[in-house]
Chains A and B, each alone.
Chain A
Amino acid sequence: MACFIVPVAEAVISTVAARILETKEKKSDESQKASDTDFSLKICFSKKVRWLSKLLWGGSFLLAFEHLWHCEIKPFFPFLTAAEHSESFSVMLHEMSTVGVSMSLTVTAAWIGMLIVSGIFEKRPKTQETREMI
């Protein structure tokens, strides 16, 4: 009905968070550049948050298309067919709180898995090949 709204809300929050982190990291990078000469292989956290926002935006976009396919979205106010009647509206809210939230949690869990895997790779000793890549 409107379960994709929950991941969209999370996508907005993660995009804003990534922007804020990016500006903070740029500021700290500039101050470190003068003293630090050793380059690390670590992926900055803002880029990792971007992974989450890309997963959420991409998934929500295709899910919105599915809702359009099933005529659950319309191009005029209130945009959601379920929001037209109070009975269907309460069903929509229930679906958002169950299916929508679990969708967001599934994507976030997959992202946490990605963080763990990338963390393991970052901790590995650097080979000659990876040093040359830097």
Chain B
Amino acid sequence: MTLLITIIAAIICTLIWYKNAPKDKMNISMLCFMYWGASLMWFADAVFEYSELRTEFFTPSLYDMVNDAFLGISAVALGLVVWIVILLITDPKRIFKKEI
């Protein structure tokens, strides 16, 4: 579930980035790199887990699924928090500089 949620987030971010490309004022590419990087790493982890569990890998318990989903959503939210903090610090639209 964590891998799935991160991949969905990566795809959505890539679509938003592509829609505005080549302009990247909002630094969406940073989110793309972050989510794709995590997705690739969790994919490698999932391959190892599959080699150990085999068919059990595709039939997780409800508790594990909910916990993994919660972790995935939290990871996506943390990525968004990091992105918004960096966006406000770098201030690409010079909003804060104009105010001052």
Residues of A within 8 A of B (CB): 3-4, 7, 51, 54-63, 65-66, 69, 98-99, 102-103, 105-107, 110, 133
Contacts and interface: CB of A to CB of B under 8 A. Distances in A.
B45 A103 contact: yes
5 contacts: A4-B41, A61-B38, A66-B2, A66-B71, A103-B41
Nearest to A114: B36
Given A3-B45, A58-B35, A103-B41, 15 more contacts: A55-B36, A57-B37, A58-B36, A58-B38, A59-B34, A59-B36, A59-B37, A62-B75, A62-B78, A63-B41, A65-B74, A69-B74, A99-B45, A107-B41, A110-B40
Contacts, number: 77
A interface, by DSSP: helix, strand, loop or mixed?
A: helix
A51 B33 contact: yes
> Nearest 6 A-B pairs (CB), nearest first?
A59-B37, A58-B34, A54-B33, A62-B38, A55-B37, A58-B37
Chain B: number of interface residues, binned into ranges: 20 to 34
A31 B65 CA distance: 58
